[in-house]
Structure 1
């Protein structure tokens, strides 16, 4: 019998050792209360989990003191419950322990009590293990969930969540409910049942497209008719569909962000009307416009001035203008120009000169007025102004002066012959003086008119626009082909307004940023898309924006940069493409990996490369250097509107920010403009 027990005892000892090794490997501590022998055993790992050295003699009271003060009562109550004969004897509790280094550890204790048939407590044993990582992870997850829901429901932007093929409305914040004119009772129901007026929109089709493709969809200035609190309402909205993915990576719904832009759309429409009025007024005033880049000695002329002067439409050097003046007017013109470029002059330029057409020899008397733009150091940067043809007025003035001269000569002869007629001579002399006075007053009036025409056109422009509209609306049938002249007048004014606006934009971009700060490009692009929402809507374009970086720079200049690039992508769309596409993306590029042709203005280790990609008409890459120059155009004005300044502005902004810009394209295959900015 003894021989049969020996192998059993050896097996049990081996099993106990294996169990001890397994518990030690798993960093699990053990305890055992033997109430029969009144002995207590604590494993070294158990002591360590309570923040005590392995060689410490401990008691239950000592271990309880190592429990976090806020958890002691709960742990003590759980222990007493496990030792209560009426309980099941299970013990399972998570609590904090105090460590020797002052930190806190979360542990989980699991135990079981054993009773004999007489109901006497025999044993209370169990294990304890570290669950700090699990507890902290769960707390962070709960906090993240609370934060996300707080952000969602308290967001100033309208948001909702659709799920399933039926577009079940799972979540909607107060801003979204206000836009829909509904209460929270619609949550949990199919959206199109709760808001049936949305059935006529593209919301359903685009929702299912996002479910199928997992691609974000952005729509700008979508006109939508709603029934708000039983009252019809039509507004304009920007909305974005972003896919929601489950843990398997499958799309199960979308989160929709909505911004009402009704006020901005209406304001933009009114602004366009005002700009049209300004263009009409400048055209009707028959003014020519010009601009001088002082540093480059480059002169840019409007179409009217090019016609008057007979010059090539390409930008000219300023010396060519002076050579086209009559010899007697060249030196006064130079003096007036030098004085205007002097900060003490206030930048005012005002001169009258006679120009000679190089082909026809026709002479015109032009009254030029302008204003110099100075930089912060007082250096002249640009001179911008207008010119008016006053040949007719001057001819009339000369005719009057000739008549006065003749009359004076005749009176002198008469005075010699009729010395006795003093009274008559005096009367005639007074008449001549009055004529001179009237002539002088007329000349001043002409000068004042020219000044007002070039500096204060707002009110006349408004009236011109109104009268033009009246002519078109009330007398369009009677004007016949005259309607075409009205349209040509408005078109020419539009070109002039765009030129003035672009020249001002170009001149306002200084050689450095006005305010350097960390600029998040994502919101910058979002605002640009809001500004271009009408053009995007008209062209039916789809604009996709990937995650964009933050860069140090001037937010206003960076906005001009990307607005010009996106506007070009929309303008030069390919007629053979059903849907114009614009994709904006970004990646980091090390300086050593930059293309050889890319020469940033400032050397750093890495650069952000932001690509604006379109499927437009494209261009020959041999013209890349040319397209970034002022007034350089690859297409005729009749094909595509514009002044040829947009890409020059883009290049100037990039250089100001220490970067570089280049492009890749081929005719009919779209274009990619790549902007490199220091990281």
Structure 2
């Protein structure tokens, strides 16, 4: 660069430049008659140069003939923040990105050596501390003899422009990728001849004529359209400039020597040039064949369903009449059974009461004279007592089987507490220990549920074990409750009512237990695992338990081993 002794300094800020700009102007020299006129010409050249720099919005700098930066460079200093000493010579390269510095120096040296304009791009660390991309253009300023006086260059910040270009390229690439891979057919029809341009892969697949359809008229590629409305519609869109849409349009396509039917939602959008005239039509077609075929199949199915429904309604009406007749028969049967229960509770019990009453009279009046005959009277009374208990249990079982009370919320805690009060004498006599955990409230019949727990607890108190000396072991009975999912039900339990969750109530004891093989048997009527001399009973109690649980939509089972006690599990639907 020229020093201040031989040439004026050129700065990037024309408004603050002290020296005239004619030293770097390409304007031919002017013969100036006097100093005022010369000053005027210089000012004109200076103003023109300032305007040029402002127009390009760049940073002006100068280098000497050898390509070195010398002298004061206000523009470069304000851009990079480098000091005077830092940018002298090739010091300016330290402000250039490390990846760009050496390529810039090498290209700059080639331009200086070949005396050619220098055009380049590189990144510069600006004064704010970040990297920015600049476009550089520098030209040599020649002396009258053709030698290079100095180089004048301009740095133009193109960061935002380049970022915008890159963003546009990325956006275009994404758009192209989306269009090319879109599952809908997209194509452009140019002019009235409908020349196919920019078809995506789906469009090509729909046509079925291979990938070389671009540049050909649509009617030539698909001659089967001649007898379909689409070419006429496209011509009307081209003429009117109005968008066209149609849904589930049937398109007949010739493929592999045959004609196939496909259905499309079609949109024909006119595209206009700067003059406002239509020059092309954008076709976007969505294949809805599967939906149309499915709907058509559904319509056929619905028609069959309506026919079947009508037939089914007739059958339901017939079954309803049959069911009503069955209900009436059942009601008559229940009435008969209730009448039987009444007879059993009155007419059958009456002879038994007389037998027991007369046997008592015989014992009182003639007991001393009967001798060993008194034993027969005892057996008679015992038999009459067993018969009376059997009739009462049968009556209870019949009533549970035929009478369904309206369900209402029942606290099982309260039911069990009432039952324990009824059994208080037996509990005291056996010295039983009963542990009761909180029980749920369920929908049911309090009376029937009372019978359920009465029988279970009575059995737990009755079937006691003996120790090695033959003494009865005090019963230990536990009642617990747990909420479980249906998936945790035992495979042997089949509740009447299916629900996602159940209340599991367990009644456990430390009694004599039983063989697990007899689990199903113990819930049958008149089934006993022990003879009457060991334990009293009719063999109906557990059958009543199962009937009560069934009436409440649940299930019941038991687990036991001989001498290890027993646990009864009851499952009530939640």
Q: Which has the larger radius of gyration?
A: 2
TM-score, normalised by the number of residues in structure 1:
0.39
**TM-score normalised according to structure 2 size:** 0.45
* Larger strand share, 1 or 2: 1
